[in-house]
Amino acid sequence: MSGRLPKYKQIQEELRYQIQQDVYQVGDLLPSENEMCAHYGITRTTARKALEELQREGYIMRRHGKGSVVVERRNSLGLLTVKGFSDVAGKAVRNIMVAKPHVASWDTSFVFTPSPTEEAGDCYRFTRIRCVEDDAVLVEVSWLDCGLVPGFDKQEFVNGSFFKTLSQCYLIEVLGSEQELQAISAQGTIADLLGIPVGSPILYIAVRYLTNKSGYYIYSKLYCNTSKYSIGNRFLSK
């Protein structure tokens, strides 16, 4: 831990790194304030502030009488998840990679245009389908600057998760997103990938994800078939 940072910040960064590396996984309890005081030789105030910062960042939820529980950051940040019947029926959500990550040019027609610095270089691009059992619910086309993710085109996603791969392998964290939504008709390849007739109504979402790296963004086009399953945000209090 760096001695240049306040003690609570040092502990926060150490615990965050352990969560990123799955030392503590979703559902696990972090050490209690008393345990942290004994381990690090700190006061309860310092321990409490480190945990409060982790909760603010969306890594944990502090629950009265139970402790600090590691949570899924997508939920904490209000990022898009497949919802609806899958929530109550326990159906498996799975991803199908249609086009693996590969070096490509930027999509400059996208509503969230890349910065001149980003556009000067190449990006990695990939396409995948989010399915609930046999139903294709969402087609995702994403791209990101090659600069901070060397070898991304050869990197297997950790547990099938794009965000977890960024976190564990590149220490890039998604902090939130900007979104624009539009009702459109499914055409061509998108209709085929969703398995619906051409002209069927779908929800189109343009997303720019904000990260902990200054000026570094992730861009996605999401095509959602919401006839059976909804696509939603879930915000947890911080």
Q: What is the maximum span of the chain, computed from C-alpha positions, in angstroms? A: 64
pLDDT digits (tens, 9 = 90+) for 143-181: 999 999 999 999 999 888 898 899 889 999 888 888 899
CATH number for the domain running over 7-71:
1.10.10.10
d(CA 103, CA 144): 10
| Reduced DSSP (H G I as helix, E B as strand, rest coil) percent helix, strand, coil of the chain, to 5 | 30, 35, 40
pTM exceeding the 0.85 threshold for the entire prediction? no
Architecture of the domain spanning 78-227: 3-Layer(aba) Sandwich (3.40)
Q: What is the pLDDT of residue 203?
A: 93
Q: Is the confidence at residue 49, as pLDDT, over 90?
A: yes
Confidence of residue 25 (pLDDT cuts 50, 70, 90): confident
The domain limits of the chain are 7-71, 78-227
